[in-house]
A and B are shown apart, each in its own frame.
Chain A
């Protein structure tokens, strides 16, 4: 489509994906993630969650996955978080601030987070064997097309993830229908 872009890439333009941006985005994600679970005010938590989601979108961009980053912003930061806020705003904040949370799930949470940590450590130490050690150079702008090829297949053949994709969309359809049935008194 746009040959000028490819020539610019080949001419060796300076990459934006520098360690500085990685540490900035990762730090922001972790800090705001902590804020999500430590704030008592639900709206503050929701705002912190938005920052987390946006910095994760930035990390996707650094991984040369712009489509995923864009969808992350539209679906999570733009759509779902607005609905979250919509619901949270109707909650009486003053009362929730005073109430102690009554769930005692923290032992399970501790076990789950330890397991997750172990998994991350494993991936970190064995990472070299598990993943490719460097980015496979792709022509700029083909990212979206490659996702489409994987999901929908090309030239009449089924894509690698077509089945999983269709199953997921069926699941969403069921959820939508369920929501409609629950809100409608008379069908």
Chain B
């Protein structure tokens, strides 16, 4: 039992490759828990960051600095009455949030958190991701229709038109990234790597960037960058976030497609939206930003650099713990704040002990042999860099929302069809031409 468990931990294959269903199930559960925690964190950060953008405090009452606010919200949503409108189509109304949730979470089976830190490595990985994430719109469309009410229907119509239009530009940008996997690399360090047959597998795409010694955002500069920017715009539209949140434009449509939803069912929509945000950010990271690869893996190589980079996860948590402890010190010394002070102190301690654990693993696993500590250290590094890159995108989502006003619908359509589509087509053609010329 223990030895087989240890062999799981030391394995260099994904559960899908090894054909081990139990192990795959464990991975799925870990990812599900991780995404749920990420959604909770994102919820808190979004409210706080948005508030600070507008020079407000944001949630401050539930827990120190409102840290328990997401849990309070979740509890409220679960206890709230779940209303189904009398005129609604009962079954479809019931099934709509589940469609969105299923589509958002199914995508995670192919997201590569590391070369073996994924549930499975499909050879059509990116195609699968695009296909399944495009099913998410069905949930929105059907929810809007089943509510049998005007605002939700308008929201659903807008959202389906928007998603179908932006999927085209998004798909073309993805194709140009997939094309890069098969072309000779002219990275920023000069000509390296070999042209290969190219691949659609998510792990294969990151490995191609590793072999060509360049993140695809910098390859064939500026072609890779333009394709990336197109994807970065289209992905915001795909997940219905500001400034493309016309499906739930509150000034025009009250809440758009989920106007009639309440309680737990509404929270499923929210969960699906945030899970989809993380998923599309992961596609962008995998395709253009080198996935799990740490910065400068070739320029700064050798065991010393590896060790320095493996300290990053621990140091990050140490920094967070420092912020929490600073907050504890700066808490007003009134007796009202006593419990909050203790709570924040304990939270800081928890973060600090996590940081210590990560540092101990980094030091224990610094030798490059195949010991368990080294494997663990390696895996933590992969997941850390992947999650850090995704986290940057998640922050950008908040930043967009705080900064930009919503598009008008005709503007949205003209941006999608008249700007993004021609540019992405041009980039695709130019990438192919440059690839052939370089050969």
Please report A residues at the B interface, Cβ cutoff 8 Å.
1-2, 4-5, 8, 13-14, 41, 43-44, 47, 50, 66-67, 69-71, 73-74, 77-79, 81-83, 85-86, 89-90, 140-141, 143-145
- Asked if residues A1 and B131 are in contact (CB atoms below 8 Å), the reply is no
- Asked if residues B122 and A85 are in contact (CB atoms below 8 Å), the reply is no
Which residues of chain A have C-beta atoms less than 8 A from B200's C-beta? 67, 144
- Asked if residues B12 and A86 are in contact (CB atoms below 8 Å), the reply is no
* Most chain B CB inside 10 Å of its own CB: which residue of A70, A86, A143: A70
- Tell me if B's interface is mostly helix, strand, loop or mixed: helix
A179 to chain B, nearest CB (A): 13
CA distance A69 to B138 in the complex (A): 19
CA distance A145 to B178 in the complex (A): 13
Please give the number of chain B residues whose Cβ is less than 8 angstroms from any Cβ of chain A in the complex: 45
Does B218 lie at the interface of the complex (its beta carbon under 8 Å from any beta carbon of A)? no
* Most chain A CB inside 10 Å of its own CB: which residue of B95, B130, B135, B171: B135
- Asked if residues B19 and A14 are in contact (CB atoms below 8 Å), the reply is yes
B359 to chain A, nearest CB (A): 31
Which residues of chain A have C-beta atoms less than 8 A from B203's C-beta? 2
**Contact flags (1/0) for B143-154 with A, using CB distance below 8 Å?**
011100000010
Task: Name the one of A2, A5, A71, A89 contacting B127, with C-beta atoms under 8 angstroms.
Answer: A71
Which residues of chain A have C-beta atoms less than 8 A from B91's C-beta? 44
- Asked if residues A77 and B163 are in contact (CB atoms below 8 Å), the reply is no
Q: Which 6 A-B pairs have the closest CB atoms?
A: A13-B19, A78-B134, A73-B131, A70-B127, A141-B123, A74-B131
A-B pairs with beta carbons under 8 Å apart, 9 shown: A5-B121, A73-B132, A77-B138, A82-B134, A82-B164, A83-B160, A89-B144, A140-B123, A141-B123
Which residues of chain B have C-beta atoms less than 8 A from A44's C-beta? 91-92
Which residues of chain A have C-beta atoms less than 8 A from B130's C-beta? 74, 78
Does B207 lie at the interface of the complex (its beta carbon under 8 Å from any beta carbon of A)? yes
A169 to chain B, nearest CB (A): 15
Contacting residues of chain B (102-155) with chain A, CB-CB under 8 angstroms = 121-124, 127-128, 130-132, 134-135, 137-138, 141-142, 144-146, 153
CA distance A78 to B134 in the complex (A): 5
Task: Name the one of B138, B164, B207 contacting A50, with C-beta atoms under 8 angstroms.
Answer: B138
- Asked if residues A89 and B153 are in contact (CB atoms below 8 Å), the reply is yes
B272 to chain A, nearest CB (A): 16
